[in-house]
């Protein structure tokens, strides 16, 4: 009976995916639309824009630009998670992100702010001064206390799959079936969160985090299967190396490939697009949303 109920619930989640809604900062976000999350890396060594916004003033200025370009969410991180990146101290991460979050919250009270961290202390302090979402690339495997922080603040939590850690994740990762492994990991973490009273969850398959090139394409191609988890799907393909390796593109020439991968991901169920180029992503999202709304009118 338990297996039957699980299967029935998964089918119901899949069929009702576009009818679901999530609430962020008092706003209702319907999953029949897609939304843009702009990336703000306050780091000297991130893979795509390391050092560009390490200065506090430049970070705040860039956040303002992304908001003006139409970002729904700003994702602020103070620690690089590129392959091979070394971890930094809690104090250093706090020093990088807290003043920026505070400034953006004061100037843009309505914008959704996500803090990209794997440390519960950073998450706690960020939520206390106005962040709305914890974006944990470890899926709670580095610091399980993040779950309690999210519960206490009634915050949304992004669960991502990673194989290993940033230092080891690209050292010959291997999967029998990458989709099944990632799905099972996320499903198990969701079950644990639900049993502890957490339901404001967003899932991320972890493109580029301990994945081979073919694994990333397989996850995008079969992204629709993750609808049956019953939670919004976020995707982060922006400027990633699997695009560069596939098309022989350096880091500065992956924007078109990024938008194509983001568009395919939306069609397959992604509803939050985490991206470096907000302006281009907003155009793609708007076309997706217009097409989706037209389809609903025709089928009404």
Residue 166: HSE in the Cβ half-sphere, 13 Å Cα cutoff:
19
Catalytic residues: 240, 274
Contact between 42 and 79 (Cβ < 8 Å): no
State how far the Cα of 195 lies from the Cα of 183, in Å rounded to an integer: 18
Q: What are phi and psi of 101, to 5 degrees?
A: -60, -45
State how far the Cα of 173 lies from the Cα of 89, in Å rounded to an integer: 27
State how far the Cα of 116 lies from the Cα of 76, in Å rounded to an integer: 6
How is residue 2 annotated by DSSP?
Answer: H
Contact between 233 and 220 (Cβ < 8 Å): no
40, 66, 108, 217 from 251: Cα distances, Å: 17, 20, 31, 18
Structure token pair of residue 227: 């609808």
Q: Closest Cα partner for 78 from 104, 61, 111, 56?
A: 56
State how far the Cα of 192 lies from the Cα of 42, in Å rounded to an integer: 32
């Amino acid at each position: 009976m338990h297996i039957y109920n699980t299967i029935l619930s998964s089918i119901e989640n899949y069929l009702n995916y576009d009818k679901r809604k999530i609430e962020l900062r008092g706003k209702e976000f319907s999953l029949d639309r897609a939304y843009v999350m702009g990336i703000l890396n306050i780091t000297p060594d991130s893979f795509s824009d390391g050092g560009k916004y390490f200065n506090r003033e430049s970070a705040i200025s860039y956040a303002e630009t992304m908001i003006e370009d139409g970002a729904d969410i700003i994702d602020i991180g103070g620690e690089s998670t590129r392959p091979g990146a070394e971890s930094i101290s809690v104090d250093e991460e706090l020093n990088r992100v807290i003043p920026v979050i505070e400034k953006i919250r004061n100037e843009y009270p309505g914008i959704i702010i996500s803090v990209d961290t794997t440390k519960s202390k950073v998450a706690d302090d960020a939520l206390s001064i106005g962040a709305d979402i914890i974006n944990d690339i470890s899926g709670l495997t580095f610091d399980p206390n993040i779950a309690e922080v999210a519960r206490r603040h009634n915050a949304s939590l992004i669960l991502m799959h990673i194989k290993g850690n940033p230092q080891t994740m690209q050292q010959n990762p291997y999967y029998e079936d990458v989709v099944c492994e990632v799905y099972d990991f996320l499903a198990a973490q969701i079950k644990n969160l639900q049993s502890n009273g957490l339901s404001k969850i967003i899932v991320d398959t972890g493109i580029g985090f301990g994945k081979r090139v073919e694994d990333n394409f397989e996850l995008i191609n079969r992204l629709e299967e993750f609808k049956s988890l019953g939670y919004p799907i976020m995707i982060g393909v922006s400027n990633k190396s699997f695009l560069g390796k596939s098309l022989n593109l350096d880091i500065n020439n992956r924007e078109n490939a990024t938008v194509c991968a983001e568009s395919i991901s939306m069609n397959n169920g992604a509803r939050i697009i985490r991206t470096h180029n907000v302006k281009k992503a907003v155009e793609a999202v708007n076309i997706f949303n217009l097409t989706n709304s037209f389809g609903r009118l025709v089928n009404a």
